[in-house]
Amino acid sequence: MLNAANVGPGEHVLVTGASGGVGTALIQLCRLLGAVPHAVSSPGKMEALTALGAETVIDRTDVTDWPAAVAEATGGRAIDAVMDLVGGPLTNPLIDVMTQRMSARRSYPRLSIAGASAGNVTKILWTKIYLNQVQIFGVSHGTRAEAQRLVGWIRDGALQPVLHRAFRLSDIHRAERYFMNRDLDFVGKIVLVPDAQWEQHGARFAAPEALS
Ligand SMILES: NC(=O)c1ccc[n+]([C@@H]2O[C@H](COP(=O)([O-])OP(=O)(O)OC[C@H]3O[C@@H](n4cnc5c(N)ncnc54)[C@H](OP(=O)(O)O)[C@@H]3O)[C@@H](O)[C@H]2O)c1
């Protein structure tokens, strides 16, 4: 997503769905590229996202005016690119975040899309896209070279997959119920571990029975 939008060092990037598996990777990857990530998330996750590298964390449940909220968070610094994992009603106001003050920008607004957690339909004015030269990138995969670079960062410990909880594969229904409980303040991935490897890889990340 970051490469598709040609994000470079020093650029400010807004990441939606920042607490999820993809979002937590994007926050870290921004820092690895020298960019400055701003997270959009729900309450209770600020500390974890800041520890991962987020410069600011915007509580999406407490925003009515997105351009104003983002400007307040960034101290008025323009957002160079938005990495959008949620779609739905959030995408249009996040384009507004980038197009409000075009004269303050150093590059055209860039939007990478790779998810639709908030909805698969978004209404956007065509005129807003073409008059502001908004560049939109749909992303489902990268190149082999990019994958090798990612694995290198993971091996070095520079990029850390964020694991929230593990469940036995045979316990998949409990894992799904846990995943669907959006009231839990979880950050990162929920992982299923084959039963035969549970003691070695899963047990220390087990979900307490009370939360299932
Ligand atoms: N393009 C691809 O190839 C590809 C690959 C993997 C995943 N995906 C897609 O990318 C998205 C993220 O994947 P993931 O594995 O990171 O999912 P995830 O772990 O479930 O994270 C999604 C995050 O989105 C936020 N969210 C959920 N509902 C929302 C809503 N209604 N409005 C705003 N934010 C909402 C939540 O964070 P907060 O509550 O903290 O805001 C949640 O943690 C999914 O839509 C997935 O299908 C695409």
Interval 52-88: pLDDT, tens: 999 999 999 999 999 999 999 999 999 999 999 999 9
Q: How confident is the model at residue 186 (pLDDT cuts 50, 70, 90)?
A: confident
Task: Indicate whether 182 pLDDT > 70.
Answer: no
> Both 85 and 33 in a single domain?
yes
Task: Indicate whether 212 pLDDT > 50.
Answer: no
> Both 90 and 173 in a single domain?
no
Q: 163: Cβ below 6 Å to ligand 1? A: no
Q: 122: Cβ below 6 Å to ligand 1? A: no
The pTM of the full predicted model, rounded to 2 decimals, is 0.93
How close is the Cα of 19 to the center of ligand 1, in Å?
8
Evaluate whether residue 3 is within a structural domain: no
Task: Indicate whether 114 pLDDT > 50.
Answer: yes
* pLDDT of the residue at 209: 61
> Both 102 and 170 in a single domain?
no
* pLDDT of the residue at 195: 97
Cα torsion angle, 86, 92, 97, 103, sign = positive
Residue 86 belongs to domain spanning: 12-156
Q: How confident is the model at residue 207 (pLDDT cuts 50, 70, 90)?
A: confident
Q: State how far the Cα of 44 lies from the Cα of 41, in Å rounded to an integer.
A: 9
Q: Which two tokens stand for residue 1?
A: 């997503």
Q: Answer whether 102's CB lies under 8 Å from 131's CB.
A: no
Q: What residue owns the CA closest to ligand 1's atom 11?
A: 115
Total tally of structural domains belonging to the chain: 2
> Both 22 and 100 in a single domain?
yes
Q: Which of 139, 156, 173 is the last residue of a domain?
A: 156
Q: State how far the Cα of 160 lies from the Cα of 171, in Å rounded to an integer.
A: 25
Q: How confident is the model at residue 185 (pLDDT cuts 50, 70, 90)?
A: confident
> Both 83 and 143 in a single domain?
yes
Q: 24: Cβ below 6 Å to ligand 1? A: no
Task: Indicate whether 104 pLDDT > 90.
Answer: no
Looking at residue 16, its amino acid is: T
* pLDDT of the residue at 180: 86
pLDDT > 90 fraction of the chain, expressed in percent and rounded:
86
Strands (E), the chain: 12-15, 36-41, 56-59, 81-84, 110-113, 135-138, 163-168, 189-193
